[in-house]
Structure 1
Amino acid sequence: MEMTVAELVSAQWDDHRTGLRCEDRVLTHHQIAAGAAARAALLVDLLPRGAEPHVGVLLDNAPEYPLWLSAAALAGAAVAGINPTRRGAELARDILHTECRVLITERAKLPLIDGLELPGVRTLVTDTEEYGQLLAPYADAAPGDAVLAPPDPARRLLLYFTSGSTGAPKAALCTQGRLAAAGRSLATNFGVRRDDVHYICMPMFHGNAVIADWAPALAAGAAVALRRKFSASGFLDDVRAHGATYFTYVGRAVQYLLATPERPDDRDNPLRLGFGTEAGAVDAARFSERFGVRLVEGYGSSEGGAAVQWSPGAPRGAIGRAAPGDDLAVVDAGSGQECPPARFDAAGRLVNGAAAIGELVNRGRNTFEGYWRNPDAEAARLRHGSTGSAWYWTGDLFFRDLEGWLYFAGRTDDRIRVDSENLAAAMIENILARYERAAAVAVYAVPDPVAGDQVMATLAHPGPFDPDDFTRFLAAQGDLGPKMVPRFVRVLDRMPVTATNKVHRVGLRRTGFRCPDPVWWRPDTELTYEPLTPAAQAALVERYREQGRESLLDPR
């Protein structure tokens, strides 16, 4: 039977156990339901009649975030998760594109929207006296007292941004029914109990935190503990303080945790499970050994069109197999035909990547619910395959072995996944094109040594390259988010082009940072470039080899 998130929130009303912890604030499940009801009633009064029932949330992981998710569910509205790493006109575009007439934020985020043109948008600042005064008249509200539309499984609840080859972020849709079903499924699969505590340290404007962490806790009646922003150094202290038993991650977070100094009591923690993507087999094993916590890898298209489920007995590096009912295939995008199975050498390295790696496609049923006002993007995602029926194209690269196990291999051409952020190469390219000393710019992904991608840029740069001048240029670009900054910069006299006079991106990606031209790189997170010397390149390639990802440096 289909349920709604509103029903799950309403079920908290008579539950007076601890339901939410964040820093020094503790709320019971009842207080969460009551707070959500008050905010739902406020929202119903604030939204102009006839407006789309959308509320933008521009917050770190604070208690107000899950309260507004719950409030939107009760009111029959939808939350647009606004990414705080966006800047300037692009940030304004996200808010206006999703037609948010109310924006929930906090004082620390006000500089991000200062000076932006946001016509018709009412801003509520949660950590102000005015906000408390607005909520006060609704303090006695209960779930169901104020609704814009009756709760329904098909009612839109989430609009969360994901990037693609068009360059502009797309707002993927998620209904109450899909989110509730995802929460119940994960709670069942992982045996989530009422006395569990889900630690949410991934940003809640992402589907990862909401769908894979908050929703199963809500479905099972478990508590959540929030961390405003992920901190590797504070992770274990938080877990112990909150009694956390479950968390979600992306691969880079696992790498950061492993980089912290080892302590003799690392295994002394209440965690029993971590669920996420792209940790990599080597780091997942290291994490389990060091912290005594099993990591379960999975894959799910943010838009709901395809899922790969982890299964016991998965070979090293495999994500899993298709979820029940899905008809997943690894397809050559050019021919539409299924790629041949992967072959491995005695050391377990992929030896036929050029043929075996293709795009993951769901040829069967899927729960893709579309994008907000973007029919072209929907048509690109759902298009006909070799059978003549519409297939769901994930935009993600995989290969499959003879036993049917699926392995993640990267992203398709214009998508770059850095620290769980899907970035559009075209967007970064447009910003770097402002650099007057460069005659042309190309931006593309190169594999990260552990998980996901890193940003690489090629500059057609006549004359000597000045890394300090380029660094000053990057620092002055207000719309260049921190994850967009190139890790590698290749410098050449003239941009390579194809016979049709287009930038030869395939060739650039194929050679990556192992090319005959000078390459400058940032060895760490500092905005400082230095030459990638042969010794540094050899050491870097060794890191890929240790993680079993060296073959990804030779795409075909």
Structure 2
Amino acid sequence: MSQTSQSHLIGIAEVAAKLPKFMRKVPHLVTGLKQAYLRTPTTPTGLGLAFEKAVKRHPHGIALLFEEQKFSYNQLNAWANQIAHYYLSLGVRKGDVIAVMLENRPELIATVIGLAKLGVTAALVNSSQSGKVLIHSINLVKPIALIVGEECRAAVDEIRQGIEINEDRFYWFADQATTVNPGSSPSGYLNLAKVVDHFARFNPPTTAKVQGKDGLFYIYTSGTTGLPKAVIFSNSRWTLAYGTYGHVLALNKNDVMYVTLPLYHATGIVVCWCGVIASSGALAIRRKYSTSSFWQDVKKFDASAIGYVGELCRYLMDAPESELDREHRVKKMIGNGMRPNIWDKFKARFGVEEVLELYGSSEGNVGFSNVFNFDNTVGFSPTPYAVIEFDKDKNEPILDAKGYCKRVKKGETGLLIGKITRRSPFDGYTDSSKNKAVIMQNVFKQGDAYFNTGDLVRDIGFRHAQFIDRLGDTFRWKGENVSTTQVENIVSDYEKIANAVVYGVEVPHTNGRAGMVAITLAEHCSLTEQDLSNMLTHFKAELPSYAVPLFIRVQEQVETTGTFKYLKNKLKTQGFNIYETNERILVLLPGQKSYCDLTPELYENIQAYKYRF
């Protein structure tokens, strides 16, 4: 995701101007930071405990809104408790893992709370996954059970024989209001709504025994091996987010946070929900994002805050203006990826006063939050970090004469790294070999250690930064991280394709980078009209929609280095510009079922924003 460089740097006068409004948040921040930084690995803490405290503060207040359903804190807590007591009766213990695959709906929220109270780690499986990727994601974390919604069951049924879970531990939630009408379960599944129905509704004794070091979630990120990596998200880390992001929002019990972001990602399930729990407010959710329904839902739920990623903001700006643009009480929004070129326009059009842009990764130990409400910045970081000089061509840090890294000067761009300390630990991945690849040793002195975020940021002063770009073998599109290696593996499986090189390219007026693949064909093969649709069918069957390449470049030969590494920089620079190459380029236009040749006319229309990717 690329953001344009801004000329101004933050100065003392600008900080001073923001102080009056900031001071109103100080009580919230002090409370939050106290909770966040006074924790230890053995401190009783986490989502379960925080939610029970919110129930005590506001038992009859609305905790969750979805479609026509609403749940008070008491009701949602009782439901979660039934799930917790059921699994306790089976002998499920702290440290066990249960995979959960549901779209955004109340069943997911209740399940997550119930498992959190037991110290069970919920593996939040991407609901759009299928095939080999889904098998890998589930088996990777060695779950003792799988909870799946009817909306995801077909994907699970297709690969069920490859899942390493006992046959009697497959649970199912109907695709409806299961607390009202549980229904009957399909063959091979236990109906979770039915089996928990007669269990106790009081808080289980296990909640207070969950410690900071215990796992809360597994959140999946793109892996450079071509398959997703499972990131350990501990209760301690959740409490850090709760104490910072949750209290930066400074919501109250009358606030409603509307979230359409997928809850298998940390921005939705952690950042947005933290602010709600911290305030005993209400969380309003929608299964999947819809531009046409967004402000209608905001009005319906009387939302006062929204969660966002950059792509969502662009979609809303592209929509025709409507009276609903201002008929709401939304004054705050929290998320990441707001483009500088629409930041001011978005606030002006929709009447938003605070854009709480943040930076953080599911696996990282450094985070930023826009606590002062400056424009065009991911904000301030209270955690120790550095921005170091980096050579993009060589893909390595620039070292001084002694072999140590060099910090960039104010206003310059460099690689963001987070210092690993007791208070800012690196929880890591399930695969310890992956941890070594992202930990930098002896960075500024012998014995220190830093987490390599893989992201370029600009130091704009006063411990504030501006996100610039993402390095390495992933790129971001539609608010999701795309693994180039994963896509290369799937594309190469197509029978006529011999080699594939995947990279992200910028498309005008969009956020992030769209997927593009340079391919070479197998000997004596050529692409027919049928191939142009068959390839797309193959890609869609194995990849989530956001990872399907939008552009294909057909090459005679893939250029490599002397060590056989693909020369991606040249491909990235040329992108899909048909005037930069004589090679054939294909494009998947919005709504089409087949690739077609990119002509000069189509290319110019894309540049003119006549297609909405």
- TM-score, normalized by length of structure 2? 0.80
Measure how far apart 1:240 and its partner are. 0.8
> 1:150 is aligned with what amino acid?
K
Question: Which residue of the other structure, out of 363, 370, 376, is the alignment partner of 2:427?
Answer: 370
Which piece of structure 1 moves more, 148-157 or 61-70?
148-157
Q: How is 1:31-430 mapped onto 2 (pairs within 5 angstroms)? A: 31-47=75-91, 52-115=95-158, 116-117=160-161, 118-121=163-166, 122-127=169-174, 128-129=182-183, 130-138=191-199, 140-145=200-205, 147=206, 150-294=209-353, 295-310=355-370, 312=372, 314=374, 317-321=376-380, 323-332=381-390, 333-336=396-399, 337-338=405-406, 340-341=408-409, 357-363=413-419, 365=421, 367-387=424-444, 388=446, 389-401=448-460, 405-430=464-489
Higher mean C-alpha displacement, 3-12 vs 157-166: 3-12
What is the CA-CA distance between 1:438 and the residue it aligns to?
Answer: 2.8
Aligned residues: 527
CA deviation profile, 1:370-420 (whole Å, cap 9, x unmatched): 334311111112221532321110012223357765322222121021112
Bigger relative contact order, structure 1 or 2 (CA pairs below 8 A, ≥6 apart) = 2
Shift of 1:463: 6.9
Q: Aligned AA for 1:46?
A: L
Q: Structure 1 stretches of 5 or more lacking a match? A: 344-355, 544-556
Equivalent residue of 2:216, what SS?
strand
Report the residue type matching 1:41 in the other structure: H
Counterpart Cα distance in 1 of 2:95 and 2:246: 32
| Structure 2, unaligned runs of 5 or more | 1-37, 40-44, 175-181, 184-190, 391-395, 400-404
Provide the rounded CA distance (Å) in 2 between the counterparts of 1:101 and 1:252. Answer: 36
- Between 1:532-541 and 1:233-242, the stretch displaced more is 532-541
Change (3 A) 1:401 1:531: farther
Query: Cα distance 1:404–1:107, how it changes in 2: closer, same or farther (>3 A)?
Result: closer
CA contact (8 A) 2:84 2:115 kept: yes
Partner of 1:114: helix, strand, or coil?
Answer: helix
Alpha-carbon contact 1:5-1:179 (below 8 Å) kept: yes
Tell me the residue number matched to 2:584. Answer: 518
Mapping 1:12-23, distance limit 5 Å: 12-14=54-56, 15-23=59-67
Amino acid in the other structure paired with 1:69? V
The corresponding residue for 1:9 is 51
d(CA) in 2 for partners of 1:171, 1:74:
21
Whichever residue aligns with residue 141 of structure 1, its letter is R
My pick for the range that moved more, 491-500 or 155-164, is 491-500
| Superimposed CA distance per residue, residues 245-286 of structure 1 (whole angstroms, 9 cap, x where no aligned partner) | 112111111112222221134211121111111120122222
Counterpart residue type for residue 359 of structure 2 = Y
Name the SS for the 1:199 alignment partner.
strand
Of 23-32 and 170-179, more deviation after overlay is shown by 170-179
Paired residues of 1:303 and 1:368 also in contact (CA < 8 A): no
CA shift for structure 1 position 485: 1.1
Tell me the amino acid that sits aligned with residue 506 of structure 1: N
* Contact 1:22-1:227 at 8 Å conserved across structures: yes
Q: Is the 8 A contact 2:478 2:512 kept in 1?
A: yes
Task: Label 1:525 to 1:276 Cα distance change in 2 as closer, same or farther (>3 A).
Answer: farther
Q: What's the counterpart of residue 487 of structure 1?
A: 550
Percent identical pairs in the alignment equals 23
The one of 460, 470, 473 aligned to 2:535:
473
TM-score relative to the length of structure 1: 0.88
CA-atom RMSD in angstroms: 2.6
